[in-house]
Amino acid sequence: MEVIRISALYDNYIFLLHEPMQNIAAVVDPAEAEPVLEQLEQLDAELVAIFNTHHHNDHVGGNRKLIQRFGSVTVYGGEKDRGRIPGQQVFLKEGDRVDFGDRSAEVIFVPGHTRAHIAYYFPPETPDTNGDLFCGDTLFAGGCGRLFEGTPAQMLDSLTKLRALPDNTRVWCAHEYTLKNLQFALTVDGGNPELQARYEIVKAARNRLEATIPSMLNVEKRTNPFLRWNQPELQSAVQSNDPLQTFARLRGMKDQF
């Protein structure tokens, strides 16, 4: 399975999954249809699935046009998003599985950003390859999503699930927020040498207009403050030794950053 990153809107990423043997494709969170259709035309591939993580328009805005073009496409989303995702036919819950080509993904329920948010995790095919996590707006490179419909406790639980995935997991998050996320991270974890080095690498990449997605989960575990709420450095920065309060205070600080 090939993952093709497509830029959309101002800072969104759409992910096209391509199975070259069957020449079929699936798309994750199509913010708009046009760039997806252009990529499909280049591949001469048939779109068979739309995997939505949540209902926000910058993740589902292309659904209707893609459905019009590919009438047999199957539209997936969380069961709690019923009525909010255009064209949704399959209503997924924690532990469900979805198939694409010869790969199978686990559905992870990750509320917080929205009440119905889900993520899709494709395990590695072999021990020396990477897994792939499509996490929408729950986990970002260097950050996490705002809490629009959920609570800090829900988001903490969701991020705990994602943090437990294997280190060799590629994190395909839906926005290019990495540089600003790391700028904030340095204000609360500035003594972290890996974070300092990562910031310089990301700053140079963005100066060259290069994407910073995907990230690797092992890097996130060491440098993303929203996966490090149990570290003394982060707890000291927000003056709390309670994990939930630490997370909530970090998220509040980021909201004002």
Residue-wise pLDDT tens digits, 198-237: 999 999 999 999 999 999 999 999 999 999 999 999 999 9
Residue-wise pLDDT tens digits, 93-137: 999 999 999 899 999 999 999 999 999 999 998 888 999 999 999
113 annotated among ligand-binding-site residues: yes
What's the helix, strand, coil split of the chain in %, to 5? 35, 25, 40
137 annotated among ligand-binding-site residues: yes
Please tell me the predicted confidence (pLDDT) of residue 117: 98
Contact between 29 and 14 under an 8 Å Cβ cutoff? The reply is yes
Whether pTM > 0.75 for this model: the answer is yes
What structural domains does the chain harbor? Answer: 2-255 (3.60.15.10)
55 annotated among ligand-binding-site residues: no
Active-site positions?
A: 54, 56, 58-59, 113, 137, 175
54 annotated among ligand-binding-site residues: yes
Helices 152-163/243-255 angle, 10° precision: 100
